[in-house]
Structure 1
Amino acid sequence: MASSSSEIGVTLDELTCPVCFELYKEPTTLPCGHSFCHLCLETSWESTEEDTTCVCPSCLDVFPQKPNLKKNVIISNLVENIKLKKGKVGLGVKVRDADHGYMISWGTESYCELCNGEATKRCVPCDLLCCEKHLKPHQQQWHKLVSAGVKIEELRCIEHGKPIRLYCKDDGSLMCLMCTAGEHQYHKVVAVEIAHAELKDVLTAKYPHVSQSMESVASQLQQVQEEEEQAENSSRDAEDRLEEKRMLVCQLVNVSVDLMKSEIKKRKMEKLSLLGKQREKLEQQMENLRQGKSTMDRALQKLEAVSFLQGSKDLLKRLETMSHFKSVQRTPLPVLDFSKEEKKLDGLITFNKNYLLEIQKEPVEHPEEVELDQNNLRNLYGRTLSLDPNSAYRWIKISRGLTSATLTGTYKQYPEHPDRFDLYPQVVSFESFSSGRHYWEVDVSSSSSCGIGICLNSMGRKGRGCVLGGNPESWCLNKHYDKCSAYHNKQCTTLSVPREPKLFGFFLDCEAGELTCFIDSQVLHVFRGNFMDPVKPAIGVCVNSVRFVHLVK
């Protein structure tokens, strides 16, 4: 009988039921030699469809008749002895209460449950915390190990509460051993370690392509960033040059106006000076005439002849002097004329007005439009899309690489999700676009009837109104053998195709509001709408499968 902690650890591992991965409760041994909890064995057989056949859950031996199940007393005693020893040495132990569905714990989960040393890992099937020393037996048996702090409940089957040990390749779901007796009975099921290794191989094979794509995208991203920086610098330099020219033009206009104003002032002063001299001369003459007239008035007022004659000599002399003031026609000075200068400014103003009109009428140069050539679009804007399983109709199987959607006759146990289509066999992509240009291709060679297009991310997923093309929020190309049609908002347009389409190409220009559809390198149809709201590529498959094409730039 084991007495050391290490021996207890090994015994615990050997006395664990391979179905529930817990210490045996009423252990029962089958004729093939494998032992199980009595309840686990009965539950496993009850879940099988054939009532007369019993199968060993471990080696899958078939017993035509149900064996007589008896309690294995030796194993039962060993289990009780192990529990007793664990209690004496103060070690932690966990037992699941099958009636109430909770875990009863003793000891502390921060230490090894076999020696009270520091725990480094948790064994999932044994539900034990182990130190490095007691971890080796579990490693040798390839048990699932996780960090000590991981909650074991997170790694258990939701339906049965048992540890996850298997992976269903048909449904792409994790499961416990009890799940094999249900809907997964005829599915391809492998151990999680095998599925893990296979998936790692797939990812490893795709890793170089992803790396190359990342390098290509990084190179294009760098080019875009360089072009953005170049555009910023070019625009800033052009604006600076224009600002300098504006300052220069303003300076020249200011200098020209100042020179003209100076010339005007000079001419004004010259004319005012001449006019001032003429005015002074005329004012002097006017004063002399005023004085002569005053003398004549006084002489005429004298009535006495003697007095009149006494002053007549001086009066006649003054009159003689006044006789020299004759009315001479004065030649006026020329009027100041600044029409030439004004015409020069008018010419400058007219030139600028015409130049401004030319700038306003001249269209802004845009980058050259992308030629609608599929090879060009594939190289510039090619995208490899992936399907969103959370949106898939429950009868659609999504491939492991998330690129193919296949309509099957098997109902998939997909979890409930608000994005899932509940009435039509449809699925949308993970990717969502609301700006820029994007190109992708869809292989429809395996499906004689399908619908491919885009839909607003806000389009409903439940009920009859969510069929692709049957509402204002979706645009769809429908293929039925060798016939095609464009479908949007319940409006159908028949399209002419030379043969049954095998491949569709789609070019989405969000800013232009256009979805261009290609077939055989020719434009088949152009949808127009408001694609600045988030849209998602979408697939509707009525027969067989449809897949997104992997585009390698």
Structure 2
Amino acid sequence: MDGCSIHKTILECYCLDGIPYLCGYCIAKIQGGFQVWSIGDASVKKKELLSNVLKELSASKSETENRIRSLKTPTEKIQYKADGLSKKFIVVFQKMRKHIEDLETKVLSEIARQVEEAVAIYRDEIRELETKRDELSRKMAAIEDLYTLTDPVTGLQRPGDYGHGNNQRSAGDCSTAACDLDEGSISEVLHTGIAELVVIARSGLFMVEKSDILLDEDTAGNNLEVEDDKKSFYWVNRYQSTPKTPQRFKDHQVLSTTSFSTGRHFWMVETSKCGNWRFGMSYASMTRKGFRSYIGCNDKSWGLCKWNNQYSAMHACKETLLPDKLTCQRFGVYLDYEAGELSFYELCDPIRHLHTFSATFTEPLHAIFRLWLDSYGGAWMTLKSME
């Protein structure tokens, strides 16, 4: 800004209204009511205004940066977790691919083995028939030679074997059972391999810590018989004279010796078709007798329940009925202690989520089971841990 564009003189003042910059001639000509400042004063005021704006912008920038940092923290955590999961799943898929390759080799080897056994039966018979064919050809040649003789006396004097060889077996005489392929055993190899593949995939899905669940027979009610392996138990229709201790349930329930106070865990249970049952997780501090000792009938246990073919999830006497009938007797239980999640799954084809409890766990959790007889006969349960 060199000077007044009208009078070509030095600018002396700053007007807040109208033309902002004024020289001495401009000031003399303007009417009253205009706010006029010296250039120096106007500059100071402008700097004060800019300083205030700068402070506001700086505060806004600082707030924006804080917000960016607050958003980056969870996104970085998410990315870190995603990277970890990706690495884990890469290992899982590597295991699955290796397992599929091995399974393919097993199935094809089983087919090749059966082919060799079946073909061997035909091969022996073919060899026998080829020998028979060669003998028949020899006899036919001898007979044709005699047939072509012109001297009847010579033909009559030559000895010969004129047997017809009608006692040979047909190549189709071997039974289908002996000669055909056993598709059932081939399918069994495949299905077993697929089941193992599901276990590999499930271990990747839940990312669980390896744990071994064993039953505490000192807590088992009198109508439960715990097997020696501490992984199976069944209902017995008699009262057993087990010692009465503060740890033992009065009714037919049993706790695991294993407890969980951190981490993620997955285990499986298989039940008999008959009988009624409940299983889930509980604190060891729950009462051992009376209605409040039943799984799900207190605030210290969470369970999946079956009663007369009706299925439900229970906690603190609150029952959530499951809308669909269950189609198999294999179930999975997934515990994420820190996240406060306890989930139940039906391990059929496909795997089906049944229910998830959300809670803040305050004590170590034990697996817990309840089993009793119905009108159809005995009942049992078997526990399996994730390999």
Q: Which residue of 2 aligns with 1:258?
A: none
Q: Which residue of 2 aligns with 1:545?
A: 380
- Secondary structure at 1:438's aligned position in 2? strand
Deviation of residue 344 (structure 1)?
A: 5.2
- Give the Cα–Cα distance (whole angstroms) in 2 for the partners of residues 444 and 511 of structure 1: 29
Q: Which residue of 2 aligns with 1:524?
A: 354
1:507 maps onto 2:337 in alignment: no
Q: Deviations over 1:37-84 (max 9, x none)?
A: xxxxxxxxxxxxxxxxxxxxxxxxxxxxxxxxxxxxxxxxxxxxxxxx
Cα 1:547–1:339, aligned 2, differ >3 Å: closer, same or farther? same
1:483 maps onto 2:310 in alignment: yes
> Please, which runs of 5 or more residues in structure 1 have no aligned partner?
1-331
- Give the Cα–Cα distance (whole angstroms) in 1 for the partners of residues 362 and 57 of structure 2: 48
CA contact under 8 A between 1:378 and 1:551: conserved in structure 2? no
Out of 37, 41, 64, the position equivalent to 1:354 is 64
Q: Which residue of 2 aligns with 1:405?
A: 233
Cα 1:374–1:518, aligned 2, differ >3 Å: closer, same or farther? farther
Out of 456, 463, 466, the position equivalent to 2:293 is 466
| One-letter amino acid of the structure 1 residue matched with residue 314 of structure 2 | Y
**Superposed CA RMSD:** 3.0
Out of 291, 301, 319, the position equivalent to 1:492 is 319
CA contact under 8 A between 2:209 and 2:263: conserved in structure 1? no
- Secondary structure at 1:334's aligned position in 2? helix
Number of aligned residues: 220
CA contact under 8 A between 2:280 and 2:303: conserved in structure 1? yes
- Secondary structure at 1:376's aligned position in 2? helix
Out of 314, 323, 334, the position equivalent to 2:40 is 334
> Please, which runs of 5 or more residues in structure 2 have no aligned partner?
1-37, 90-200, 374-378
Cα 1:477–1:349, aligned 2, differ >3 Å: closer, same or farther? closer
| One-letter amino acid of the structure 2 residue matched with residue 551 of structure 1 | M
| Greater Cα radius of gyration, structure 1 or 2 | 1
Out of 254, 257, 270, the position equivalent to 1:430 is 257
Cα 1:348–1:512, aligned 2, differ >3 Å: closer, same or farther? same
Q: Deviations over 1:216-264 (max 9, x none)?
A: xxxxxxxxxxxxxxxxxxxxxxxxxxxxxxxxxxxxxxxxxxxxxxxxx
- Give the Cα–Cα distance (whole angstroms) in 1 for the partners of residues 367 and 305 of structure 2: 14
CA contact under 8 A between 2:311 and 2:325: conserved in structure 1? no
Over the matched positions of the two proteins, sequence identity in percent amounts to: 24
Deviation of residue 447 (structure 1)?
A: 4.4
Cα 1:489–1:466, aligned 2, differ >3 Å: closer, same or farther? same
Aligned ranges 1:276-355 → 2 under 5 Å: 334-335=40-41, 337=44, 338-339=47-48, 342=51, 347-355=57-65
- Give the Cα–Cα distance (whole angstroms) in 2 for the partners of residues 347 and 471 of structure 1: 58
Q: Deviations over 1:315-339 (max 9, x none)?
A: xxxxxxxxxxxxxxxxx88346344
1:388 maps onto 2:216 in alignment: yes
| One-letter amino acid of the structure 2 residue matched with residue 549 of structure 1 | K
Deviation of residue 379 (structure 1)?
A: 5.4
CA contact under 8 A between 2:208 and 2:264: conserved in structure 1? no
Cα 1:378–1:469, aligned 2, differ >3 Å: closer, same or farther? same
Q: Which residue of 2 aligns with 1:294?
A: none
Cα 1:355–1:518, aligned 2, differ >3 Å: closer, same or farther? same
- Give the Cα–Cα distance (whole angstroms) in 2 for the partners of residues 382 and 523 of structure 1: 22
- Give the Cα–Cα distance (whole angstroms) in 2 for the partners of residues 379 and 359 of structure 1: 30
CA contact under 8 A between 1:404 and 1:546: conserved in structure 2? yes
Q: Which residue of 1 aligns with 2:363?
A: 533
Deviation of residue 377 (structure 1)?
A: 4.2
Deviation of residue 454 (structure 1)?
A: 1.3
